[in-house]
C-alpha cells in the first residue's frame, strides 16, 4: 500500500511523533532528529510561500551581529547534522543538550498552525507544557500571566507523562 503525503502532513506527523516521544521521556536523540526534520520541512514551505520566517532558524538571526551569524547557524544545526551524518566525523562525539529540541518544537508548532490554520491537539498539549515551563518567554496579558504563574508549578510537578495523559483527552474533548 502506498501513501500520498503532502509535505506539511509529513512534517505534522514527524512533529506529533516527536511530541509523543518527548512526553514519554523517550530517547532525546530520536526526539531531536524528528523535530529537526519536521522543522526544516515547515521552514522550507514557509520560504516557498513567502510567509513570515520562523524564529529559531529565521528571525532570531536578524538580531545577531554579522560576524557571528555563521557560528550561530552552525551551533543551531550542530546536533541535527551530527545525528544525521558521519561522512566527515565518523568517530566524533557530541555534548548534546536535549533542551535544544524544546525550542524547535514550539517554533515548528506555531509556524505549522500559522501556515495551515489547523491546531492539532498534540501541539496544544506541548504548547501548554512549554508555557508552564518557560513563562518568562511570553508577553501575556496580565490576567493570563497570573493564571499561568499560578498553575505552572502544579503542571510541572505532575511531570511530563502525567500532564500529557491529563491534557490530551481534555483538549480532544474541547476540539482544540
Domain ranges for the chain: 1-118, 120-176
pLDDT digits (tens, 9 = 90+) for 58-106: 888 888 899 988 988 888 888 998 898 888 888 889 899 999 999 999 9
- What residues have CB less than 8 Å from 122, skipping those under 6 apart? 15, 16, 19, 20, 168
| CA 127 and chain centroid, separation | 9
CA distance linking residue 29 with residue 79, whole number of Å = 9
Question: Of the CATH numbers 1.10.3470, 3.30.70, 1.20.120, 3.40.50, which one belongs to the domain with range 1-118?
Answer: 1.20.120
Residue with cell 531531536: 32
**pLDDT score for 142:** 87
| Length of the chain as a residue count | 176
CA distance linking residue 170 with residue 158, whole number of Å = 16
Beta strands (DSSP E) in 109-164 are: none
pTM of the predicted model as reported, rounded to 2 decimal places: 0.90
- What residues have CB less than 8 Å from 127, skipping those under 6 apart? 106, 109, 110
Mean pLDDT over the full length of the chain: 93
Amino acid at each position: 500500500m502506498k501513501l500520498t503525503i503532502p509535505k506539511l502532513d509529513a512534517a505534522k506527523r514527524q512533529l506529533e511523533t516527536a511530541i509523543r516521544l518527548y512526553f514519554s521521556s523517550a530517547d532525546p536523540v530520536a526526539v531531536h532528529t524528528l523535530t529537526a526534520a519536521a522543522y526544516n520541512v515547515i521552514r522550507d514551505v514557509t520560504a516557498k510561500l513567502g510567509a513570515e520566517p520562523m524564529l529559531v532558524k529565521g528571525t532570531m538571526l536578524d538580531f545577531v551581529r554579522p560576524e557571528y551569524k555563521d557560528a550561530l547557524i552552525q551551533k543551531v544545526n550542530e546536533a541535527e547534522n551530527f545525528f544525521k551524518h558521519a561522512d566527515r566525523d565518523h568517530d566524533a562525539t557530541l555534548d548534546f543538550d536535549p533542551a535544544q529540541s524544546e525550542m524547535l518544537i514550539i517554533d515548528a508548532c506555531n509556524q505549522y498552525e500559522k501556515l495551515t490554520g489547523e491546531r492539532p491537539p498534540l501541539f496544544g498539549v506541548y504548547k501548554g507544557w512549554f508555557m508552564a515551563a518557560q513563562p518568562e518567554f511570553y508577553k501575556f496579558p496580565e490576567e493570563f500571566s497570573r493564571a499561568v504563574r499560578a498553575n505552572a508549578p502544579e503542571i510541572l510537578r505532575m511531570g511530563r507523562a502525567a500532564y500529557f495523559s491529563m491534557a490530551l483527552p481534555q483538549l480532544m474533548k474541547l476540539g482544540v
